[in-house]
Structure 1
Amino acid sequence: MDLLKTAREVFAIEARAILHLAEHLDADYDKAINAILQAKGRVVVCGMGKSGLIGKKIAATLASTGTPSFFMHPSEAFHGDLGMVTPDDVFIAISNSGETEELLKLMPYLTDNRNYVIALTGNKQSSLGRAANAILNISVEQEACPLQLAPTASTTATLAMGDAIAVTLMHAKDFQPEHFARFHPGGNLGRRLLATVKDEMIVDNLPMVNASASFAELVDCISTGQLGLAVVQSEEGIGITTDGDIRRAFNRYNKEVFDLTAADLMSASPKTINAEAKMSDAFAIMEANKITALIVMEQERVVGILKK
Protein backbone atom coordinates (compact mmCIF):
# COMPACT_ATOMS: atom_id res chain seq x y z
CA MET A 1 0.00 0.00 0.00
CA ASP A 2 1.36 3.42 -1.01
CA LEU A 3 0.59 5.58 2.03
CA LEU A 4 1.76 8.84 0.47
CA LYS A 5 -0.31 8.17 -2.65
CA THR A 6 -3.42 7.68 -0.54
CA ALA A 7 -2.84 10.94 1.33
CA ARG A 8 -2.30 12.85 -1.93
CA GLU A 9 -5.50 11.41 -3.36
CA VAL A 10 -7.43 12.61 -0.30
CA PHE A 11 -5.99 16.09 -0.70
CA ALA A 12 -6.85 16.13 -4.41
CA ILE A 13 -10.44 15.00 -3.86
CA GLU A 14 -11.07 17.51 -1.09
CA ALA A 15 -9.38 20.33 -3.03
CA ARG A 16 -11.67 19.65 -6.00
CA ALA A 17 -14.66 19.65 -3.67
CA ILE A 18 -13.79 23.13 -2.44
CA LEU A 19 -13.11 24.49 -5.92
CA HIS A 20 -16.47 23.20 -7.15
CA LEU A 21 -18.23 25.26 -4.49
CA ALA A 22 -17.55 28.39 -6.52
CA GLU A 23 -19.43 26.86 -9.46
CA HIS A 24 -22.46 26.24 -7.22
CA LEU A 25 -22.78 29.83 -5.99
CA ASP A 26 -25.87 31.67 -7.19
CA ALA A 27 -28.26 34.43 -6.14
CA ASP A 28 -29.13 32.52 -2.97
CA TYR A 29 -25.68 33.33 -1.59
CA ASP A 30 -26.43 37.05 -1.85
CA LYS A 31 -29.82 36.47 -0.25
CA ALA A 32 -28.26 34.57 2.64
CA ILE A 33 -25.58 37.18 3.30
CA ASN A 34 -28.05 40.06 3.13
CA ALA A 35 -30.41 38.26 5.50
CA ILE A 36 -27.62 37.95 8.07
CA LEU A 37 -26.56 41.57 7.61
CA GLN A 38 -30.11 42.81 8.08
CA ALA A 39 -30.96 40.52 10.99
CA LYS A 40 -31.45 42.20 14.35
CA GLY A 41 -30.71 38.97 16.19
CA ARG A 42 -28.03 36.31 16.00
CA VAL A 43 -27.07 33.48 13.69
CA VAL A 44 -28.07 30.07 15.04
CA VAL A 45 -26.11 27.20 13.48
CA CYS A 46 -27.57 23.71 13.70
CA GLY A 47 -26.43 20.31 12.47
CA MET A 48 -26.34 16.65 13.46
CA GLY A 49 -23.33 14.37 13.75
CA LYS A 50 -20.30 15.40 11.67
CA SER A 51 -22.29 18.31 10.27
CA GLY A 52 -22.85 19.45 13.83
CA LEU A 53 -19.13 19.40 14.56
CA ILE A 54 -18.51 21.52 11.49
CA GLY A 55 -21.41 23.75 12.56
CA LYS A 56 -19.73 24.44 15.91
CA LYS A 57 -16.65 25.70 14.12
CA ILE A 58 -18.73 27.86 11.76
CA ALA A 59 -20.59 29.40 14.70
CA ALA A 60 -17.30 30.05 16.51
CA THR A 61 -15.78 31.70 13.43
CA LEU A 62 -18.82 33.92 12.92
CA ALA A 63 -18.87 34.97 16.56
CA SER A 64 -15.17 35.84 16.59
CA THR A 65 -15.42 37.91 13.41
CA GLY A 66 -18.26 40.21 14.35
CA THR A 67 -21.42 38.19 13.70
CA PRO A 68 -23.11 37.11 16.97
CA SER A 69 -23.69 33.39 16.64
CA PHE A 70 -24.08 30.17 18.58
CA PHE A 71 -24.43 26.47 17.85
CA MET A 72 -27.57 24.57 18.73
CA HIS A 73 -27.77 20.78 18.78
CA PRO A 74 -30.95 19.71 16.94
CA SER A 75 -31.93 17.11 19.52
CA GLU A 76 -31.54 19.57 22.37
CA ALA A 77 -33.42 22.17 20.32
CA PHE A 78 -36.41 19.84 20.04
CA HIS A 79 -36.40 19.41 23.81
CA GLY A 80 -36.47 23.02 24.93
CA ASP A 81 -33.49 24.86 23.45
CA LEU A 82 -35.71 26.33 20.74
CA GLY A 83 -36.63 28.82 23.43
CA MET A 84 -33.27 30.47 22.73
CA VAL A 85 -34.26 31.23 19.13
CA THR A 86 -35.96 34.60 18.66
CA PRO A 87 -37.86 35.75 15.54
CA ASP A 88 -34.96 38.13 14.83
CA ASP A 89 -32.47 35.27 14.44
CA VAL A 90 -31.20 33.73 11.20
CA PHE A 91 -31.04 29.94 11.27
CA ILE A 92 -28.35 27.99 9.39
CA ALA A 93 -29.29 24.34 9.01
CA ILE A 94 -26.55 21.93 7.87
CA SER A 95 -27.35 18.57 6.28
CA ASN A 96 -25.53 17.13 3.28
CA SER A 97 -28.47 14.88 2.42
CA GLY A 98 -31.07 17.47 3.34
CA GLU A 99 -33.11 14.73 4.99
CA THR A 100 -31.75 14.74 8.53
CA GLU A 101 -34.79 13.92 10.63
CA GLU A 102 -33.75 15.92 13.68
CA LEU A 103 -33.38 19.08 11.58
CA LEU A 104 -36.59 18.62 9.64
CA LYS A 105 -38.56 18.40 12.90
CA LEU A 106 -37.49 21.98 13.64
CA MET A 107 -38.72 23.49 10.38
CA PRO A 108 -42.41 23.95 11.36
CA TYR A 109 -41.38 25.86 14.48
CA LEU A 110 -38.92 28.05 12.56
CA THR A 111 -41.55 28.84 9.95
CA ASP A 112 -44.05 29.79 12.64
CA ASN A 113 -41.36 31.78 14.42
CA ARG A 114 -40.66 33.70 11.18
CA ASN A 115 -36.97 32.79 11.14
CA TYR A 116 -34.97 33.16 7.94
CA VAL A 117 -33.56 29.68 7.23
CA ILE A 118 -30.36 29.11 5.28
CA ALA A 119 -29.76 25.50 4.25
CA LEU A 120 -26.25 24.20 3.69
CA THR A 121 -27.03 21.03 1.80
CA GLY A 122 -25.79 18.90 -1.04
CA ASN A 123 -29.34 18.24 -2.27
CA LYS A 124 -31.26 21.35 -3.29
CA GLN A 125 -34.41 19.29 -3.96
CA SER A 126 -34.39 17.74 -0.49
CA SER A 127 -36.95 18.35 2.24
CA LEU A 128 -34.56 20.80 3.91
CA GLY A 129 -33.95 22.58 0.63
CA ARG A 130 -37.66 23.03 0.03
CA ALA A 131 -38.18 24.38 3.56
CA ALA A 132 -35.33 26.89 3.44
CA ASN A 133 -35.41 30.53 2.36
CA ALA A 134 -31.96 30.26 0.78
CA ILE A 135 -29.91 27.23 -0.25
CA LEU A 136 -26.12 27.11 -0.32
CA ASN A 137 -25.07 24.11 -2.37
CA ILE A 138 -22.30 22.08 -0.70
CA SER A 139 -22.60 19.00 -2.92
CA VAL A 140 -19.41 17.11 -3.81
CA GLU A 141 -18.64 14.68 -6.63
CA GLN A 142 -17.22 12.08 -4.25
CA GLU A 143 -16.10 11.59 -0.70
CA ALA A 144 -12.44 10.95 0.05
CA CYS A 145 -13.58 7.89 1.98
CA PRO A 146 -12.92 4.80 -0.22
CA LEU A 147 -16.28 3.38 0.87
CA GLN A 148 -18.06 6.64 0.02
CA LEU A 149 -19.62 6.48 3.47
CA ALA A 150 -17.67 8.63 5.93
CA PRO A 151 -18.23 12.38 5.50
CA THR A 152 -14.86 13.70 4.34
CA ALA A 153 -14.94 15.90 1.23
CA SER A 154 -18.48 16.96 2.09
CA THR A 155 -17.54 18.18 5.57
CA THR A 156 -14.51 19.97 4.15
CA ALA A 157 -16.77 21.70 1.62
CA THR A 158 -19.21 22.66 4.38
CA LEU A 159 -16.43 24.15 6.46
CA ALA A 160 -15.16 26.13 3.47
CA MET A 161 -18.66 27.47 2.81
CA GLY A 162 -18.86 28.59 6.42
CA ASP A 163 -15.53 30.36 6.09
CA ALA A 164 -16.74 32.08 2.92
CA ILE A 165 -19.83 33.34 4.75
CA ALA A 166 -17.74 34.66 7.65
CA VAL A 167 -15.18 36.38 5.44
CA THR A 168 -17.87 37.91 3.21
CA LEU A 169 -19.56 39.33 6.30
CA MET A 170 -16.23 40.70 7.53
CA HIS A 171 -15.78 42.60 4.27
CA ALA A 172 -19.37 43.84 4.34
CA LYS A 173 -18.97 45.13 7.90
CA ASP A 174 -15.46 46.52 7.32
CA PHE A 175 -14.26 44.33 10.18
CA GLN A 176 -10.81 45.55 11.29
CA PRO A 177 -8.01 44.07 13.44
CA GLU A 178 -9.14 46.29 16.33
CA HIS A 179 -12.59 44.68 16.20
CA PHE A 180 -11.07 41.19 16.14
CA ALA A 181 -8.89 42.08 19.11
CA ARG A 182 -11.92 43.07 21.17
CA PHE A 183 -13.19 39.49 20.93
CA HIS A 184 -9.73 38.05 21.69
CA PRO A 185 -8.45 40.15 24.61
CA GLY A 186 -6.50 37.22 26.01
CA GLY A 187 -4.53 36.62 22.84
CA ASN A 188 -1.39 38.31 21.57
CA LEU A 189 -3.38 40.40 19.09
CA GLY A 190 -5.65 41.65 21.86
CA ARG A 191 -2.65 42.55 23.96
CA ARG A 192 -1.10 44.49 21.09
CA LEU A 193 -4.17 46.41 20.01
CA LEU A 194 -6.19 46.95 23.18
CA ALA A 195 -3.77 47.13 26.09
CA THR A 196 -1.79 50.23 26.96
CA VAL A 197 1.75 50.33 28.31
CA LYS A 198 0.53 51.16 31.81
CA ASP A 199 -1.47 47.90 31.78
CA GLU A 200 1.68 45.84 31.18
CA MET A 201 4.61 47.77 32.63
CA ILE A 202 6.54 46.75 35.74
CA VAL A 203 6.43 49.43 38.43
CA ASP A 204 7.65 47.78 41.64
CA ASN A 205 11.29 47.49 42.74
CA LEU A 206 12.66 48.97 39.55
CA PRO A 207 16.39 48.25 39.06
CA MET A 208 17.90 51.75 39.18
CA VAL A 209 21.41 52.91 40.04
CA ASN A 210 23.34 56.19 40.01
CA ALA A 211 25.85 56.79 37.27
CA SER A 212 28.62 56.70 39.88
CA ALA A 213 27.71 53.18 41.03
CA SER A 214 30.58 50.69 40.99
CA PHE A 215 30.69 47.72 38.68
CA ALA A 216 29.79 45.40 41.58
CA GLU A 217 26.83 47.59 42.54
CA LEU A 218 25.65 47.64 38.94
CA VAL A 219 25.80 43.85 38.61
CA ASP A 220 23.99 43.45 41.93
CA CYS A 221 21.22 45.82 40.76
CA ILE A 222 20.73 43.87 37.53
CA SER A 223 20.67 40.55 39.39
CA THR A 224 18.29 41.75 42.10
CA GLY A 225 15.91 43.37 39.62
CA GLN A 226 15.59 40.13 37.63
CA LEU A 227 14.77 42.05 34.46
CA GLY A 228 18.15 41.66 32.79
CA LEU A 229 18.87 45.39 32.95
CA ALA A 230 19.43 48.41 35.13
CA VAL A 231 18.36 52.01 34.56
CA VAL A 232 21.27 54.35 35.16
CA GLN A 233 20.46 57.86 36.46
CA SER A 234 22.79 60.76 35.84
CA GLU A 235 22.61 64.55 35.78
CA GLU A 236 22.39 64.45 32.01
CA GLY A 237 19.44 62.07 32.00
CA ILE A 238 19.09 58.31 32.02
CA GLY A 239 20.91 55.40 30.47
CA ILE A 240 20.52 51.66 30.44
CA THR A 241 22.84 48.73 31.04
CA THR A 242 21.82 45.17 30.21
CA ASP A 243 23.25 41.84 31.24
CA GLY A 244 24.51 41.58 27.67
CA ASP A 245 26.50 44.76 28.21
CA ILE A 246 28.05 43.16 31.30
CA ARG A 247 29.13 40.05 29.37
CA ARG A 248 30.62 42.14 26.58
CA ALA A 249 32.45 44.28 29.13
CA PHE A 250 34.10 41.20 30.64
CA ASN A 251 35.29 40.11 27.20
CA ARG A 252 36.63 43.58 26.41
CA TYR A 253 38.18 44.73 29.69
CA ASN A 254 38.98 41.45 31.52
CA LYS A 255 39.97 42.21 35.15
CA GLU A 256 39.91 45.96 34.55
CA VAL A 257 36.11 45.79 34.28
CA PHE A 258 35.93 46.00 38.07
CA ASP A 259 37.34 49.52 37.88
CA LEU A 260 34.45 50.77 35.74
CA THR A 261 31.30 52.57 36.89
CA ALA A 262 27.73 52.41 35.69
CA ALA A 263 28.35 55.57 33.64
CA ASP A 264 31.14 53.80 31.75
CA LEU A 265 28.94 50.88 30.75
CA MET A 266 25.55 52.45 30.14
CA SER A 267 23.99 53.12 26.77
CA ALA A 268 22.90 56.74 26.65
CA SER A 269 19.55 57.86 25.22
CA PRO A 270 17.74 54.52 25.63
CA LYS A 271 14.41 53.93 23.93
CA THR A 272 11.50 55.16 26.03
CA ILE A 273 7.73 55.27 25.79
CA ASN A 274 4.80 56.97 27.52
CA ALA A 275 2.59 54.98 29.89
CA GLU A 276 -0.54 55.90 27.90
CA ALA A 277 0.83 54.53 24.61
CA LYS A 278 -0.70 51.44 23.02
CA MET A 279 1.10 48.15 23.34
CA SER A 280 1.08 47.95 19.54
CA ASP A 281 3.28 51.08 19.47
CA ALA A 282 5.58 49.62 22.11
CA PHE A 283 5.99 46.36 20.19
CA ALA A 284 6.70 48.32 17.01
CA ILE A 285 9.52 50.25 18.72
CA MET A 286 11.03 47.09 20.21
CA GLU A 287 10.87 45.17 16.96
CA ALA A 288 12.30 48.04 14.90
CA ASN A 289 15.24 48.43 17.28
CA LYS A 290 15.66 44.71 18.04
CA ILE A 291 15.33 45.24 21.78
CA THR A 292 13.20 43.53 24.42
CA ALA A 293 12.60 46.31 26.94
CA LEU A 294 11.51 49.94 27.05
CA ILE A 295 11.81 52.49 29.83
CA VAL A 296 8.45 54.08 30.60
CA MET A 297 8.61 57.82 31.20
CA GLU A 298 6.17 60.44 32.44
CA GLN A 299 7.22 64.10 32.77
CA GLU A 300 10.90 63.13 32.44
CA ARG A 301 10.56 60.63 35.29
CA VAL A 302 11.00 56.86 35.11
CA VAL A 303 7.71 55.23 36.14
CA GLY A 304 8.13 51.70 34.85
CA ILE A 305 9.85 49.20 32.61
CA LEU A 306 8.12 47.32 29.82
CA LYS A 307 9.41 43.87 28.89
CA LYS A 308 8.46 42.11 25.68
Structure 2
Amino acid sequence: MALLTRKTRSWLTPALLLFPPVALFLAVIVFTSFQSVWISFHRYDGFGDLTWIGLGNYEELLQDPQFFVSLRNNVIWLVLFMLAPPLGLAVALLVNQKIRGMRIAKSLFFVPLVLAPVAVGVVFSWVYTPQIGLLSKVFSLFGAEAPALLSDERWVTFAVVGAALWPQIAFCMVLYLAGLNNLSEDLIAAGRVDGAKGATMLWHIVLPQLTQVSFIAVAITAIGALRSFDMISVMTAGGPFGSSSTLAYQMYEQSIFSYRFGYGAAIATVLFAIMSVFIAWYLSRVTRNDARSS
Protein backbone atom coordinates (compact mmCIF):
# COMPACT_ATOMS: atom_id res chain seq x y z
CA MET A 1 0.00 0.00 0.00
CA ALA A 2 2.86 2.36 0.84
CA LEU A 3 4.49 1.59 -2.53
CA LEU A 4 1.21 2.23 -4.32
CA THR A 5 0.83 5.53 -2.49
CA ARG A 6 4.35 6.54 -3.47
CA LYS A 7 3.66 5.74 -7.13
CA THR A 8 0.37 7.59 -6.98
CA ARG A 9 2.04 10.67 -5.57
CA SER A 10 4.65 10.61 -8.34
CA TRP A 11 2.02 11.43 -10.97
CA LEU A 12 -0.78 12.94 -8.89
CA THR A 13 1.16 16.04 -7.80
CA PRO A 14 2.28 17.00 -11.35
CA ALA A 15 -1.23 16.29 -12.63
CA LEU A 16 -2.79 18.60 -10.04
CA LEU A 17 -0.29 21.34 -10.83
CA LEU A 18 -0.85 21.03 -14.57
CA PHE A 19 -4.64 20.82 -14.43
CA PRO A 20 -5.44 24.56 -13.88
CA PRO A 21 -3.28 25.93 -16.74
CA VAL A 22 -4.29 23.12 -19.11
CA ALA A 23 -7.99 23.63 -18.30
CA LEU A 24 -7.61 27.38 -18.77
CA PHE A 25 -5.84 26.87 -22.11
CA LEU A 26 -8.54 24.49 -23.34
CA ALA A 27 -11.35 26.82 -22.24
CA VAL A 28 -9.89 30.15 -23.36
CA ILE A 29 -7.86 29.20 -26.43
CA VAL A 30 -9.00 25.88 -27.90
CA PHE A 31 -12.74 26.12 -27.21
CA THR A 32 -13.00 29.77 -28.28
CA SER A 33 -11.01 29.02 -31.45
CA PHE A 34 -13.46 26.30 -32.49
CA GLN A 35 -16.36 28.55 -31.51
CA SER A 36 -14.96 31.33 -33.70
CA VAL A 37 -14.73 28.97 -36.67
CA TRP A 38 -18.33 27.86 -36.04
CA ILE A 39 -19.56 31.47 -35.87
CA SER A 40 -17.82 32.24 -39.19
CA PHE A 41 -20.42 30.08 -40.94
CA HIS A 42 -23.26 32.23 -39.60
CA ARG A 43 -24.66 35.72 -39.79
CA TYR A 44 -24.43 37.04 -36.24
CA ASP A 45 -24.64 40.54 -34.77
CA GLY A 46 -23.46 39.57 -31.29
CA PHE A 47 -26.91 39.78 -29.68
CA GLY A 48 -29.50 37.78 -31.62
CA ASP A 49 -29.57 34.21 -32.86
CA LEU A 50 -27.05 32.65 -35.20
CA THR A 51 -28.24 32.40 -38.80
CA TRP A 52 -26.54 29.69 -40.85
CA ILE A 53 -25.18 30.99 -44.18
CA GLY A 54 -22.50 28.37 -44.86
CA LEU A 55 -19.56 29.81 -46.78
CA GLY A 56 -21.33 33.13 -47.33
CA ASN A 57 -18.90 35.12 -45.21
CA TYR A 58 -15.91 33.61 -47.00
CA GLU A 59 -17.43 34.31 -50.41
CA GLU A 60 -17.90 37.92 -49.36
CA LEU A 61 -14.27 38.06 -48.25
CA LEU A 62 -13.12 37.16 -51.75
CA GLN A 63 -15.15 40.08 -53.13
CA ASP A 64 -14.09 42.59 -50.45
CA PRO A 65 -11.29 44.94 -51.64
CA GLN A 66 -10.54 45.92 -48.04
CA PHE A 67 -9.76 42.30 -47.19
CA PHE A 68 -7.02 42.20 -49.83
CA VAL A 69 -5.66 45.55 -48.64
CA SER A 70 -5.47 44.16 -45.10
CA LEU A 71 -3.89 40.94 -46.37
CA ARG A 72 -1.27 42.90 -48.32
CA ASN A 73 -0.48 44.96 -45.24
CA ASN A 74 -0.02 41.79 -43.20
CA VAL A 75 2.53 40.60 -45.76
CA ILE A 76 4.34 43.95 -45.48
CA TRP A 77 4.35 43.62 -41.69
CA LEU A 78 5.70 40.07 -41.90
CA VAL A 79 8.49 40.92 -44.35
CA LEU A 80 9.67 44.08 -42.57
CA PHE A 81 9.37 42.53 -39.11
CA MET A 82 11.92 39.91 -40.17
CA LEU A 83 14.47 42.72 -39.79
CA ALA A 84 14.00 42.56 -36.01
CA PRO A 85 15.98 39.34 -35.28
CA PRO A 86 19.17 40.32 -37.20
CA LEU A 87 19.02 43.89 -35.89
CA GLY A 88 18.40 42.59 -32.38
CA LEU A 89 21.41 40.30 -32.74
CA ALA A 90 23.55 43.21 -33.94
CA VAL A 91 22.52 45.35 -30.98
CA ALA A 92 23.08 42.44 -28.58
CA LEU A 93 26.60 41.91 -29.95
CA LEU A 94 27.26 45.63 -29.52
CA VAL A 95 26.04 46.02 -25.95
CA ASN A 96 27.60 42.70 -24.89
CA GLN A 97 31.06 44.20 -25.31
CA LYS A 98 33.01 44.88 -22.13
CA ILE A 99 33.39 48.62 -22.65
CA ARG A 100 32.97 51.37 -20.09
CA GLY A 101 29.51 52.87 -20.23
CA MET A 102 28.01 49.94 -22.12
CA ARG A 103 25.64 49.14 -19.24
CA ILE A 104 24.01 52.53 -19.70
CA ALA A 105 23.70 51.89 -23.43
CA LYS A 106 22.18 48.49 -22.70
CA SER A 107 19.58 50.11 -20.45
CA LEU A 108 18.69 52.64 -23.16
CA PHE A 109 18.21 49.89 -25.74
CA PHE A 110 16.07 48.00 -23.22
CA VAL A 111 13.67 50.93 -22.64
CA PRO A 112 11.32 50.23 -25.62
CA LEU A 113 10.63 46.75 -24.29
CA VAL A 114 9.12 48.00 -21.03
CA LEU A 115 6.95 50.62 -22.73
CA ALA A 116 3.35 49.77 -23.50
CA PRO A 117 2.54 49.58 -27.23
CA VAL A 118 0.06 52.42 -26.70
CA ALA A 119 2.86 54.62 -25.36
CA VAL A 120 5.11 53.72 -28.30
CA GLY A 121 2.29 54.53 -30.71
CA VAL A 122 1.66 57.92 -29.10
CA VAL A 123 5.37 58.77 -29.16
CA PHE A 124 5.76 57.91 -32.85
CA SER A 125 2.54 59.71 -33.73
CA TRP A 126 4.24 62.84 -32.41
CA VAL A 127 7.49 61.96 -34.23
CA TYR A 128 5.62 61.72 -37.54
CA THR A 129 3.52 64.88 -36.99
CA PRO A 130 4.26 67.44 -39.74
CA GLN A 131 5.66 70.86 -38.73
CA ILE A 132 6.12 70.05 -35.02
CA GLY A 133 7.30 66.41 -34.91
CA LEU A 134 10.86 65.19 -34.50
CA LEU A 135 10.93 63.99 -38.11
CA SER A 136 10.04 67.47 -39.36
CA LYS A 137 12.88 68.94 -37.27
CA VAL A 138 15.34 66.54 -38.88
CA PHE A 139 14.10 67.39 -42.37
CA SER A 140 14.25 71.12 -41.60
CA LEU A 141 17.99 70.79 -40.91
CA PHE A 142 18.41 69.96 -44.61
CA GLY A 143 15.96 72.61 -45.79
CA ALA A 144 13.29 70.06 -46.65
CA GLU A 145 9.72 69.50 -45.52
CA ALA A 146 8.83 66.24 -43.81
CA PRO A 147 6.10 64.17 -45.46
CA ALA A 148 2.86 63.50 -43.59
CA LEU A 149 3.51 59.77 -43.37
CA LEU A 150 0.40 58.85 -41.38
CA SER A 151 -1.82 60.65 -43.91
CA ASP A 152 -0.24 59.14 -47.00
CA GLU A 153 -1.84 55.91 -48.22
CA ARG A 154 1.43 54.82 -49.84
CA TRP A 155 3.65 55.16 -46.76
CA VAL A 156 1.39 54.87 -43.72
CA THR A 157 1.86 51.11 -43.29
CA PHE A 158 5.64 51.44 -43.50
CA ALA A 159 5.54 54.25 -40.92
CA VAL A 160 3.52 52.16 -38.46
CA VAL A 161 5.77 49.13 -38.99
CA GLY A 162 8.79 51.33 -38.33
CA ALA A 163 7.31 52.35 -35.00
CA ALA A 164 6.47 48.75 -34.09
CA LEU A 165 9.98 47.57 -34.98
CA TRP A 166 11.49 49.68 -32.20
CA PRO A 167 10.24 47.53 -29.28
CA GLN A 168 10.49 44.32 -31.33
CA ILE A 169 14.20 44.86 -31.92
CA ALA A 170 14.63 45.41 -28.18
CA PHE A 171 12.81 42.13 -27.50
CA CYS A 172 15.08 40.22 -29.88
CA MET A 173 18.09 41.93 -28.30
CA VAL A 174 17.14 40.58 -24.88
CA LEU A 175 16.73 37.06 -26.30
CA TYR A 176 20.13 37.16 -27.96
CA LEU A 177 21.79 38.65 -24.87
CA ALA A 178 20.57 35.63 -22.91
CA GLY A 179 21.94 33.36 -25.61
CA LEU A 180 25.30 35.14 -25.72
CA ASN A 181 25.68 34.74 -21.98
CA ASN A 182 25.27 30.97 -22.36
CA LEU A 183 27.85 30.42 -25.10
CA SER A 184 30.33 27.60 -24.62
CA GLU A 185 33.67 29.07 -23.58
CA ASP A 186 35.41 25.86 -24.67
CA LEU A 187 34.19 26.21 -28.26
CA ILE A 188 35.16 29.86 -28.36
CA ALA A 189 38.61 29.07 -26.98
CA ALA A 190 39.03 26.27 -29.52
CA GLY A 191 38.03 28.65 -32.29
CA ARG A 192 40.61 31.18 -31.17
CA VAL A 193 43.29 28.50 -31.15
CA ASP A 194 42.39 27.68 -34.76
CA GLY A 195 42.70 31.37 -35.65
CA ALA A 196 38.98 32.20 -35.89
CA LYS A 197 38.07 35.79 -35.17
CA GLY A 198 35.66 38.49 -36.27
CA ALA A 199 33.14 37.37 -38.86
CA THR A 200 34.58 33.85 -38.95
CA MET A 201 34.10 33.46 -35.20
CA LEU A 202 30.58 34.84 -35.44
CA TRP A 203 29.50 32.68 -38.37
CA HIS A 204 31.07 29.35 -37.42
CA ILE A 205 31.20 29.44 -33.61
CA VAL A 206 28.66 31.91 -32.21
CA LEU A 207 25.66 31.68 -34.54
CA PRO A 208 25.41 27.84 -34.46
CA GLN A 209 25.04 28.08 -30.69
CA LEU A 210 22.25 30.64 -31.09
CA THR A 211 20.06 28.45 -33.31
CA GLN A 212 17.39 27.86 -30.66
CA VAL A 213 17.33 31.55 -29.71
CA SER A 214 16.96 32.49 -33.38
CA PHE A 215 14.07 30.02 -33.72
CA ILE A 216 12.24 31.67 -30.82
CA ALA A 217 13.01 35.19 -32.07
CA VAL A 218 11.80 34.52 -35.61
CA ALA A 219 8.68 32.62 -34.52
CA ILE A 220 7.54 35.25 -32.01
CA THR A 221 8.36 38.07 -34.42
CA ALA A 222 6.34 36.45 -37.21
CA ILE A 223 3.35 35.87 -34.94
CA GLY A 224 3.57 39.46 -33.72
CA ALA A 225 3.58 40.73 -37.31
CA LEU A 226 0.58 38.63 -38.32
CA ARG A 227 -1.53 39.69 -35.33
CA SER A 228 -0.56 43.38 -35.53
CA PHE A 229 -3.33 45.48 -34.04
CA ASP A 230 -2.46 47.79 -31.16
CA MET A 231 -0.06 50.12 -32.99
CA ILE A 232 -2.55 50.51 -35.84
CA SER A 233 -5.37 51.24 -33.43
CA VAL A 234 -3.39 53.96 -31.67
CA MET A 235 -1.66 55.60 -34.63
CA THR A 236 -4.10 55.42 -37.56
CA ALA A 237 -7.26 53.50 -36.63
CA GLY A 238 -6.83 51.74 -39.96
CA GLY A 239 -6.74 54.98 -41.97
CA PRO A 240 -6.47 56.84 -44.11
CA PHE A 241 -9.41 55.17 -45.86
CA GLY A 242 -8.49 51.72 -44.56
CA SER A 243 -5.04 51.79 -46.19
CA SER A 244 -3.18 50.80 -42.99
CA SER A 245 -5.64 48.16 -41.77
CA THR A 246 -4.53 44.58 -41.19
CA LEU A 247 -6.58 41.41 -40.86
CA ALA A 248 -6.61 41.67 -37.06
CA TYR A 249 -7.78 45.29 -37.14
CA GLN A 250 -10.36 44.63 -39.85
CA MET A 251 -11.71 41.74 -37.78
CA TYR A 252 -12.02 44.07 -34.78
CA GLU A 253 -13.62 46.83 -36.85
CA GLN A 254 -16.18 44.54 -38.48
CA SER A 255 -17.10 42.84 -35.21
CA ILE A 256 -17.21 45.77 -32.78
CA PHE A 257 -18.28 48.73 -34.91
CA SER A 258 -20.30 47.04 -37.66
CA TYR A 259 -21.80 44.31 -35.44
CA ARG A 260 -20.84 41.66 -38.01
CA PHE A 261 -19.39 39.01 -35.74
CA GLY A 262 -19.81 36.26 -38.30
CA TYR A 263 -17.82 38.20 -40.89
CA GLY A 264 -15.22 39.13 -38.28
CA ALA A 265 -14.95 35.47 -37.27
CA ALA A 266 -14.33 34.55 -40.92
CA ILE A 267 -11.45 37.05 -41.07
CA ALA A 268 -10.09 35.63 -37.80
CA THR A 269 -10.29 32.10 -39.22
CA VAL A 270 -8.35 33.12 -42.34
CA LEU A 271 -5.73 34.81 -40.16
CA PHE A 272 -5.46 31.69 -37.99
CA ALA A 273 -5.04 29.53 -41.09
CA ILE A 274 -2.25 31.78 -42.39
CA MET A 275 -0.46 31.67 -39.05
CA SER A 276 -0.83 27.89 -38.85
CA VAL A 277 0.60 27.40 -42.35
CA PHE A 278 3.54 29.68 -41.62
CA ILE A 279 4.31 28.03 -38.28
CA ALA A 280 4.03 24.53 -39.78
CA TRP A 281 6.36 25.48 -42.64
CA TYR A 282 8.84 27.11 -40.29
CA LEU A 283 8.83 24.14 -37.90
CA SER A 284 9.42 21.74 -40.79
CA ARG A 285 12.40 23.81 -41.96
CA VAL A 286 13.90 23.94 -38.47
CA THR A 287 13.34 20.21 -37.91
CA ARG A 288 14.93 19.40 -41.28
CA ASN A 289 17.96 21.58 -40.54
CA ASP A 290 18.38 19.99 -37.10
CA ALA A 291 18.23 16.51 -38.67
CA ARG A 292 20.91 17.46 -41.20
CA SER A 293 23.20 18.94 -38.56
CA SER A 294 22.88 15.88 -36.32
Asked if these proteins are the same fold (TM beyond 0.5), I'd say no
Larger RCO, structures 1/2 (Cα 8 Å, 6+ apart): 2
Q: Which has the higher strand share?
A: 1
Bin for the TM-score computed over the shorter chain: under 0.3
Q: State TM-score, norm by structure 2.
A: 0.25
Instruction: Give the greater-gyration-radius structure (CA).
Output: 1
